[in-house]
Structure 1
Amino acid sequence: MNWLHDHPDVRTIRVAAADLNGVARGKRLPARFADKVFTEGTRFPYSVMNLDIWGEDVEDSPLVFESGDADGLLMPTERGFLPMPWLSAPTALLPIWMFHMDGTPYAGDPRQALARVVERYKALGLTPVVATELEFFLIDDSGKTLRVPPSPRSGKRRTGGEVLSLRALDAFDIFFSQLYDACEAMDIPADTAISEAGPGQFEINLSHQPDPLKAADDSWLFKMLVKGLARAHGFAASFMAKPYDEWPGNGMHMHFSVLDAEGSNIFNDGTPQGSDQMRHAVAGCLAAMSGSALIFAPHENSYDRLVPDAHAPTGIAWAYENRTSALRIPASGPQARRIEHRVAGGDVNPYLMIAAILGAALIGIEDKIEAPEPIKGNAYALDLPQMPTDWEEAIDAFQNCEIMPRIFDRELITNFAMTKRQELHYMAELSDQEQTELYLDTV
């Protein structure tokens, strides 16, 4: 409440939680009633955490009519109030998460799912260190065809991709300057920005931090901020996996290492190869790759990105300093030895993504799973086990995977699979253009 006291110009607040698709669900209320959220919480139906991508109830979900569409209790997270710089009026956002009425965490909440994985690490005296890299397109969607917005500086449109181009960054300098100011105000550790391979495509890295929940919060809030700020500038920003058929899609890569109780990186053994525990973590991630593909590619459009020779991994393999593999061990000093997980699209729910990766890595460490030999060369040209190639295959793999119940509560597994099967059914009624219009802002 001190934050509101220090910002008397804030007249309204939003309370919001991430549903299984990562969509913000919440309420608007006058700032003078904010203290009630801290003392009493607020209530949503449990089913709100399990809506489909259109915001509709999932048919036959046990959370709806079977249970009387009962309420859960939502309380503020440790994040507290944050400004919403993309809105014209001074407004605060209060992130919340769901509990049962007796105060126990609701396992169907994606943030609670990640907290559950983090607690398992803590019980072993371990702390994951996490960073994400988020790719997005700036898009003029005012016409029937998606285009790059004209540069506010020159008024011109750049029609091609410009990898690591300062000119492409400078063309939207006002937008990026405001974005970095907003990230600082929201305590989002935005680091390097680069232009990417697609027209109007950029990537911003969020710094490593020894708090996976904050890393997930930051990624979720960053997506909300970028999309909101772009609209304030008159164009769209999209984390959609593949908005353009002819250009590479958007990914959300994750880098992680693990610290022991003394703060030492357990992936580091002083050699470039990394420790046995690092290879066990790699093996766990590989073992869970097919089963967790639905987490990394949750929408129909996601599978347009996961095709050979499109800068997104398709084979299940790992390698040293090789961007064609699903898991990459970047060249680094020994203390920074880490794993880069390269599968997820920009359209993911960050809480579920980070939980799936860290959960799989922990299973590898706990079970001492042996990793296969790292690959060399072009992964697309090798005979490798493959990721699911379509949405329905990924849903089946998620439901049938023996590893998933060791990471996620069975209720979340059931809810997420039901949500995706409903979306799969109704998505078949939409044209490609209608699908793009749906996904462009939503994911």
Structure 2
Amino acid sequence: MSWMDKIPEAARAYLETKRLDEVECVIADLPGIARGKAVPAAKWDKQQQFHLPNSIFFQTITGDWGEAAGEGGFTEPDMILRPDLDTASAAPWAADGTLQVIHDAYDQKGVPIGCSPRNVLKRVVALYEAEGWTPVVAPEMEFYLVGRNVDPAKPIEPMMGRTGRPAAARQAYSMTAVDEYGPVIDDIYEFAEIQGIEIDGITQEGGAGQLEINLRHGDPVKLADEIFYFKRLIREAALKHDCFATFMAKPIEGEPGSAMHVHHSVTDKRGHNIFTGPQGGETDDFFHFIGGLQEYLPSVIAVIAPYVNSYRRYVRDHAAPINLEWGRDNRTTGLRVPVAPPAARRVENRLAGMDCNPYLCIAASLACGYLGMKREIWPDKRYRGDAYEAEDEIPQGLYAALDLFDANADMHTVLGPEFARVYSIVKRAEYNEFLQVISPWEREHLLLNV
């Protein structure tokens, strides 16, 4: 099997101890769900491409479809899926030897599918490369470990710790709290090591059963691939210990939401950080990147906060930003400049929820910074003090956010017109599905009182 010489070292090491039984051909849809097919190893060895219908990109989170097929109608033509062997990774929770391989989507003429999330991110990265820039990102992933919940009408509760007590809230950075779910974390570490994913650290966050995992900085597409894999890895580790891992933006009432903070820097062809000048000072590009985030983030909130639940995160004084202010070492601002040496100068976007599609979130955030640098947009004055005292600047719900997304033609040009068209249709279909569901709050307060 000559292709095995092209896969990462971690995948080869895994196959030294496991006989390869199956290859999972996977691709991320708009919500970031892994779609694809499982193929016997013998068949995989004989095929260089696979097929899936283009309708996988028209699905809502509920499994229904938006009317996004276009003029040709809903005929579901096959896309060509080509493997990226650099993404080959073990599925260590599988009983038999199994590899996962992320695929890229093309139409039958070989043109990249414009609404494929990985292609959207590659498109934005290519715009940077055309300017002689290399974007660098470092994501932080927050999530909850919760008790098994098979009844959607039942509130989500924290998982039971090793002491037999529910995971405690408001214990940020507590090592004792982390030890409560040590067996789950041990499996997360083990799975990540087998898959060749480097974790920078795990900490307890402020919510009951809420953790944060930081990944090393690097190439945007590679890091998005790792987050895509990581969500599945964490879910599988949790299931081994009779609990669920959830990446909902706001899973538990009264607890903080879960974010996916993204740190950004940009290097030139020599590998130098363009946010830092020859004498170590901040450059115009640094300020223009921030200016672009302030100018264009409102139009992509619908991408980085993609569900009705996402907007429950943006609550004043509740551990999530409510505006687009920027500050230095200030975690109340939406845009934060962390403490770092000049060579590592970066900007942290704190607005995205962990429920986002990692490819689309990183693409949207980079697109904002790109437009800022290209158009030399200067940011507002640095915010000093508690930014929760500033005015709200986040759309108050998904529908309002989609209106902003639809209105920004500049952003459509960067992310791709086909993506913008399909994304809006699918998300509006999803919102209409939500409107047909009557919530417990409505039954409690409206049934007999109105």
Q: Could you say whether these structures have the same fold, taking a TM-score greater than 0.5 normalized by the shorter chain as the test?
A: yes
Residue of structure 1 equivalent to 2:221: 213
Hey, what's the Cα distance between the residues in 2 that align with 1:22 and 1:433? Answer: 28
State the TM-score, normalized to the length of structure 1.
Answer: 0.92
Deviations 1:153-177 (A, max 9, x none): 3233234231001011111222212
- Verify: 1:66 aligned to 2:73, yes or no: yes
Gap change, CA 1:63 and 1:19, over 3 Å in 2: farther
Q: Which amino acid aligns with 1:160?
A: A
Identify the range of structure 1 (65-74 vs 300-309) with the bigger mean alpha-carbon deviation: 65-74
Q: Which amino acid aligns with 2:39?
A: L
Q: Which amino acid aligns with 1:169?
A: V
Offset at residue 319 of structure 1 (A): 1.2
Residue of structure 1 equivalent to 2:136: 129
Residue of structure 2 equivalent to 1:183: 192
Identify the range of structure 1 (234-243 vs 44-53) with the bigger mean alpha-carbon deviation: 44-53
Offset at residue 109 of structure 1 (A): 0.6
Residue of structure 1 equivalent to 2:8: none
Q: Which amino acid aligns with 2:317?
A: D
Hey, what's the Cα distance between the residues in 2 that align with 1:414 and 1:94? Answer: 28
Gap change, CA 1:5 and 1:187, over 3 Å in 2: closer
Offset at residue 121 of structure 1 (A): 1.2
Residue of structure 1 equivalent to 2:159: 149
Residue of structure 2 equivalent to 1:396: 403
- Verify: 1:203 aligned to 2:212, yes or no: yes
Residue of structure 2 equivalent to 1:91: 98
Hey, what's the Cα distance between the residues in 2 that align with 1:271 and 1:393? Answer: 44
Residue of structure 2 equivalent to 1:21: 31
- Say which of 375, 378, 392 aligns to 2:386: 378
Hey, what's the Cα distance between the residues in 2 that align with 1:118 and 1:97? Answer: 15
The number of equivalent residue pairs is 428
Hey, what's the Cα distance between the residues in 2 that align with 1:258 and 1:78? Answer: 26
Hey, what's the Cα distance between the residues in 2 that align with 1:130 and 1:433? Answer: 40
State the TM-score, normalized to the length of structure 2.
Answer: 0.91
Residue of structure 2 equivalent to 1:439: none
Deviations 1:284-325 (A, max 9, x none): 111111100001110010011112111111112211111111
Hey, what's the Cα distance between the residues in 1 that align with 2:391 and 2:301? Answer: 19
Q: Within 5 A, what are the aligned runs for 1:238-317?
A: 238-269=246-277, 274-317=282-325
Residue of structure 1 equivalent to 2:180: 171
> Contact conserved, 2:18 with 2:96, CA < 8 A, in 1?
no
Gap change, CA 1:389 and 1:95, over 3 Å in 2: same
> Contact conserved, 2:259 with 2:354, CA < 8 A, in 1?
yes
Structure 1 segments unaligned to the other structure (5+ residues): 435-443
Residue of structure 2 equivalent to 1:234: 242
For residue 248 of structure 2, give the secondary structure of its aligned residue in structure 1. Answer: coil
For residue 395 of structure 1, give the secondary structure of its aligned residue in structure 2. Answer: helix
Runs of 4 or more consecutive aligned structure 1 residues displaced over 6 Å after TM superposition: 270-273
Hey, what's the Cα distance between the residues in 1 that align with 2:125 and 2:95? Answer: 37
- Verify: 1:369 aligned to 2:377, yes or no: yes
Hey, what's the Cα distance between the residues in 2 that align with 1:261 and 1:83? Answer: 33
Gap change, CA 1:286 and 1:193, over 3 Å in 2: same
Supply the RMSD in Å over aligned alpha carbons.
2.0
Hey, what's the Cα distance between the residues in 2 that align with 1:316 and 1:78? Answer: 39
Offset at residue 50 of structure 1 (A): 2.4
Hey, what's the Cα distance between the residues in 1 that align with 2:431 and 2:374? Answer: 35
- Verify: 1:46 aligned to 2:57, yes or no: no
Hey, what's the Cα distance between the residues in 2 that align with 1:371 and 1:123? Answer: 24
> Contact conserved, 1:13 with 1:34, CA < 8 A, in 2?
yes
> Contact conserved, 1:130 with 1:254, CA < 8 A, in 2?
yes
Hey, what's the Cα distance between the residues in 2 that align with 1:215 and 1:369? Answer: 27
Hey, what's the Cα distance between the residues in 2 that align with 1:340 and 1:271? Answer: 23
- Say which of 322, 329, 338 aligns to 1:321: 329
Offset at residue 21 of structure 1 (A): 0.9
Deviations 1:7-64 (A, max 9, x none): 6523122111001111111111211111244x2x111111112211012222x32259
Hey, what's the Cα distance between the residues in 1 that align with 2:34 and 2:375? Answer: 36
> Contact conserved, 1:161 with 1:201, CA < 8 A, in 2?
no
Gap change, CA 1:15 and 1:99, over 3 Å in 2: same
Structure 2 segments unaligned to the other structure (5+ residues): 5-11, 442-450
For residue 73 of structure 2, give the secondary structure of its aligned residue in structure 1. Answer: helix
